Structures are given as structure tokens and as C-alpha cells.
């Protein structure tokens, strides 16, 4: 992690883009130059970064010359258009969209779980789905000791999963309801304030929504466990920016609950939060703005001797998106896995 690198953020004005900027500063990322890219519509706006004003440029074929790392968080269609162009220009694209996550030649990485997967990259690395990252960090330490057979998970997902405008909508609706007015839904299909609903991503023929299938398919890929059985119920709740998950894990044999606690307490990226005396466990208000995935209420499932129950909360924008992307970037530097002009490695 010695030499400084040129970084471009594609989609710098969104919720994840803003968090990327904050994290680059906070973590003292070895930046040489920082380029902010967006669609022509958002170009021209100015963003303050460490006291400097940076003008957002419209993304074009020329944008990626000399760029080492592109942090892309402008949605799937933008990524599909630009990621390969950027990679061809010599950058490594760390893509926050779902566009490439299923591709065999694109590593899908949670640095605490499968950092080795970065070694095979061909210019694009996918940042996993937020809900999947948070669950993965919490349960992988157990999976390493005794492979998980089956997961039944229910999620409690914040508005931030649908972007900054969805967070704003949740607040406006809450105020309307408190004032006795009818809440208006624009970003979400239904009001989210004082309400909740199954995740509104498209449903497949089996009745699972895309978000749920991301948890299934991405967890399998990240864990390199193609036979891992997973069922998920993903639900949007009136929370601003931290996701929670109730996870039931089935193993081949009983998993000692105290051992599970020790493993999670020692796991990178996770923090054990359990105060049984005071009934204090992970909550969105405590996970918000923080790096670790908070994990607690680890219990022996009373309905099945080979199962454990656990509960987790994590910041959806931070570890669920921006932080994980930055950690992937740090991993590339550390392992000398850049591909472009600035790198010692060539593709």
C-alpha cells in the first residue's frame, strides 16, 4: 500500500457516492488524484473533498485514462455501459451494482471472507449486495468451523437501500402522517413511514424477489459453497440506513453456542453486542454510521438441535456498500493487484 493511486468515483452524488468520499478521507486512502464522474445530467456540480472543491465531470470514453481504480455506484445500467471501457483503459472497476455479480470471470468479494478471489480479477470486481455482505460477515466465522447446511433469514431493511431520495421520502412521509396528512409514495411503491412491506424488487416465478435471490446466489459465490441452501424473506422497514436480519442457521451437527459467540467476537468486521442482563442487542440506531456488523442474540434454536439463531444489524451504506468497496480497493493495493499504468502487474 505504498504508492498513491488515481481513483475515479462514478456516481459521486448518490448516497453511496457520498459515503465513498467520506471513507476515502476518513481512512486516509493513498490518493494521488480523485476524479468525480456522473451522468451528463449531474455533471458540473461541485463537491467538497478535504477542503478542495472538485467538479463532477460527465463520464466519457476519455474519463478513465490514467485511472487506477473506479468505484462505481451509479446503478446497473451505467455500470454495464462503462465498466468494460474503464477496465480496458487499465483501471480496476469495483462495481457496486448487481450487473456483473453473477459473472464467472468477475470476483464477488467481501474482504473478510474471500480476499483471495481478488487475485483472479480481469479488471472488474463486484461489490456484493448489502444484505448479503452483512449476513456474510456475521456467519462466515461459523461456516469456516462447520459448514452451514441451510439458512432461513428474514430481513428488516432500511430506506437507504433504495438511495438517498428514498431516505428523504421516508422522512417526509413520517411528518405527513404525524400531521394527519396522507403520505405520498414516489420512490417506493407504498408509503414506508409507519409501514413496512416485502422488498419491492421484481419477483421470479417461484415468488422470490431479486433481493432474496441475491442473498441466495451471492452468499453461495462468496462462500464458494454452491450447495448451501438458503431461503430469505426480505422486508423494507421504516428505518433510515441500517439493515437488520434474523438468521436461523442449520449445521450438520450441533454448534456450541458459546463457541459461536467466541468466533463472532473474534471475527474481522463483526462486533459481538450482547447484554443479556439488560436485553440489549444490536439495533439500527447503534449500527448507523459505524463500520462493524453488530451481531448478537446468538441462541441455540430450541426447535432443532443442529440450529443456531442470531440477530445482526449493519450500516447499509457503509459496510453494506461503500466501506466494502473501499476495503476491496485497499486489498488491491495491498496485494499489488492493480492492472493499469500505475501498477506493477499487467493483465
Q: Is 11 annotated as a binding residue?
A: no
Residue 143 among the catalytic residues: no
Applying CB under 8 A, among 140, 156, 223, 251 the residue interacting with its own copies is: 156
Residue 297 marked as a ligand binder: no
Residues 253-282, interacting with its own copies (CB under 8 A): 276, 278-281
Residue 277, marked binder: no
Task: Give CA–CA dist 237/244, Å, rounded.
Answer: 10
Nearer to its own copies, 58 or 285 (CB): 285
> Is 121 annotated in the active site?
no
Exposed e or buried b for every residue in 63-79, given b needs 16+ CB within 10 A? bbebbbbbbbbbbeebb
Based on the shown chain and the rule CB under 8 A, indicate whether residue 112 belongs to the binding site for its own copies.
Answer: no
Which one among 27, 150, 220, 290 touches its own copies, defined by CB under 8 A?
Answer: 150
State yes or no: residue 13 binds its own copies (CB under 8 A). no
State which of positions 204-243 bind its own copies (CB under 8 A).
206-209, 216, 229-231, 233, 235, 237-240
- Please tell me what DSSP assigns to residue 155: E
Q: Angle at which helices 130-145 and 257-266 pack, to 10 degrees? A: 120
Distances (CA, A) of 143 to 113, 167, 223, 298: 10, 34, 9, 15
Candidates 171, 77, 111; CA nearest to 291 is: 111
197 interacts with its own copies by CB under 8 A: yes
Q: Is 146 annotated as a binding residue?
A: no
- In the list 17, 111, 191, 340, the residue contacting its own copies (rule: CB under 8 A) is 191
Which entry of 121, 130, 199, 234 is annotated as an active-site residue? 130
Query: Which of helix, strand or coil describes residue 219?
Result: helix
List of residues 6+ apart from 189 with CB closer than 8 A: 197, 200
Instruction: Give the catalytic positions in this structure.
Output: 130, 243
Amino acid at each position: 500500500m505504498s504508492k498513491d493511486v488515481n481513483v475515479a468515483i462514478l456516481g459521486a452524488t448518490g448516497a453511496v457516492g457520498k459515503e465513498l468520499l467520506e471513507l476515502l478521507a476518513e481512512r486516509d486512502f493513498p490518493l494521488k488524484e480523485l476524479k468525480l464522474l456522473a451522468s451528463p445530467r449531474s455533471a458540473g456540480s461541485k463537491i467538497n473533498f478535504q477542503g478542495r472543491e472538485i467538479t463532477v465531470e460527465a463520464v466519457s470514453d476519455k474519463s478513465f485514462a490514467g485511472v487506477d481504480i473506479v468505484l462505481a455506484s451509479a446503478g446497473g445500467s451505467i455500470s454495464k455501459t462503462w465498466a468494460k471501457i474503464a477496465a480496458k483503459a487499465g483501471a480496476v472497476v469495483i462495481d457496486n451494482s448487481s450487473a456483473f455479480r453473477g459473472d464467472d470471470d468477475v470476483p464477488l468479494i467481501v474482504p473478510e471472507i474471500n480476499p483471495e478471489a481478488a487475485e483472479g480479477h480481469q479488471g472488474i470486481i463486484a461489490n456484493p449486495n448489502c444484505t448479503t455482505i452483512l449476513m456474510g460477515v456475521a456467519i462466515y466465522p461459523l461456516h469456516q468451523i462447520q459448514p452451514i447446511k441451510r439458512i432461513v433469514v428474514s430481513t428488516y431493511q432500511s430506506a437507504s437501500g433504495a438511495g438517498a431520495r428514498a431516505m428523504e421520502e421516508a422522512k417526509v412521509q413520517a411528518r405527513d402522517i404525524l400531521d394527519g396528512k396522507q403520505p405520498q409514495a414516489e420512490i417506493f411503491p407504498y408509503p414506508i413511514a409507519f409501514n413496512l412491506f416485502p422488498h419491492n424488487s421484481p419477483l421470479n416465478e417461484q415468488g422470490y424477489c431479486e433481493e432474496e435471490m441475491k442473498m441466495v446466489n451471492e452468499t453461495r459465490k462468496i462462500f464458494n459453497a454452491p450447495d448451501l441452501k438458503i431461503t430469505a424473506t426480505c422486508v423494507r422497514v421504516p428505518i433510515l440506513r441500517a439493515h437488520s436480519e434474523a438468521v436461523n442457521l442449520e449445521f450438520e451437527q450441533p454448534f456450541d453456542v458459546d463457541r459461536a459467540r467466541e468466533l463472532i467476537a473474534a471475527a474481522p468486521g463483526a462486533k459481538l453486542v450482547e447484554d443479556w442482563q439488560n436485553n440489549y442487542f444490536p439495533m439500527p440506531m447503534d449500527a448507523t454510521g459505524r463500520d462493524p456488523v453488530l451481531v448478537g442474540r446468538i441462541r441455540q434454536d430450541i426447535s432443532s438441535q443442529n440450529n443456531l439463531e442470531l440477530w445482526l444489524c449493519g450500516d447499509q451504506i457503509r459496510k453494506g456498500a461503500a466501506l466494502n468497496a473501499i476495503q476491496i480497493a485497499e486489498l488491491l493495493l495491498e496485494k499489488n493487484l492493480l492492472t493499469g499504468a500505475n501498477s506493477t502487474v499487467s493483465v
